Amino acid sequence: MEHLRGEWRYAERNACRLVKQSRSTQRYEARIDYEERRIRKRLHELAKKHPGSGYRRMTRLLRREGMKINKKRVQRLWREEGLRNPPRKRRKRVRGHSGNSCAMKRAEYKNHVWCWDFTMDETSEGRRLKWFSVMDEFTRECLALEVERRMTARDVVAILTWLEAKRGAPGAIRSDNGPEFVARAVGKWLTARKVGPLYIAPGSPWENGYSESFNSRMKAEFADREVFGSLMEAKVLGAEYKRYWNQERLHSGIGYKTPAEFAAELGPDSATLR
């Protein structure tokens, strides 16, 4: 239309007739959608608070805030705002599991199977940090997230004793064959409480999938985004991330609920099957 009217000096009526377009389209003024602006702003705020999340989790978060919104609309706005996460690198699927893997022996109720693992990090001056996490595989709760310069089997036993007093002993604990986990002190603690150790096959981290999943998300959403100036700073921020994981982060594996909500729904009878 601009070309016809500017270069060829067509009248608006004739130009519209030539391109078979209604004249009303030339007078249309787009309306400002203030509601959509508000949604876009809120999506940016939630993306900063929940890094690594996608539009499905964002839809759930917006609905929990009382907003009536369609998933497809959130997906469109999520893409238009450039908030899409980079595609994950596909890993070659490894076949085969030992008898103690999370695929073979699944948790069936709360406190049935715990899992634990270590992951390494460092402070701003390059000194080592060692993170230790304990998860309930059924409820997805992070039971412990501790960090020290170094951690031994005695430290692991102390954390287990504290968790036992707070929550009770589990039916089994899944782990790799690290020296802290196969140590005599840990073995005595497990035997005294009749807790079955589920040691995965050497060189098969996928068999301890819940711990590996937590550690990867913890590093992507928290540890890799922070520069820890000291051990104390890491402890404080780690405690805050543990609270966020349990009380704010929605998990698709438990119906887009927080672990705290899911555990509360199970009630006092922790042996309720999911």
CA 190 to centroid of chain Cα atoms: 30
Q: What are the C-alpha distances in Å from 160 to residues 61, 65, 165, 215?
A: 34, 37, 9, 19
Confidence band for 87, pLDDT divided at 50, 70 and 90 = low
Q: Name the least confident of 3-17, 81-95, 124-138.
A: 81-95
What is the rounded average pLDDT for all residues in the chain?
87
Residue 107 domain flag: no
Confidence of residue 89 (pLDDT cuts 50, 70, 90): low
Confidence of residue 90 (pLDDT cuts 50, 70, 90): low
- What is the per-residue pLDDT for 274? 33
Q: Is residue 176 part of a domain?
A: yes
In this structure, the answer to whether residues 140 and 198 fall within a common structural domain is yes
Q: Is residue 94 scored above 60 in pLDDT?
A: no
pLDDT at 53 over 50: yes
Q: Length of the chain in residues, anyone?
A: 274
* Whether 66 and 25 share a structural domain: no
pLDDT for 41 equals 92
Are 8 and 61 in the same domain?
Answer: no
Within-domain flag for 274: no
Q: What is the CATH number of the domain that holds 259?
A: 3.30.420.10
pLDDT of residue 11: 86
Across 211-231, average pLDDT: 92
pLDDT digits (tens, 9 = 90+) for 120-133: 999 988 899 999 99
Domain coverage including residue 255: 113-266
Label residues 13-45 b or e (16+ Cβ within 10 Å = b). eebbeeeeeeeeeeeeeeeeeeeeeebeebbee
pLDDT at 238 over 90: yes
Q: In the prediction, which pLDDT does 158 show?
A: 94
Q: Which helix (H) or strand (E) holds 164?
A: helix 153-167
pLDDT at 96 over 60: no
- Do 142 and 55 fall within a single domain? no
Higher pLDDT, 178 or 91: 178
The whole-angstrom separation of Cα 119 and Cα 130 is: 6
User: Residue 93 domain-assigned?
Assistant: no
Mark whether 122 and 216 lie in a shared domain.
yes
Q: Are residues 121 and 202 in the same domain?
A: yes
pLDDT at 272: 38
The residues pairing with 128 across neighbouring beta strands, listed in sequence order, are 122
pLDDT tops 90 at residue 139:
yes
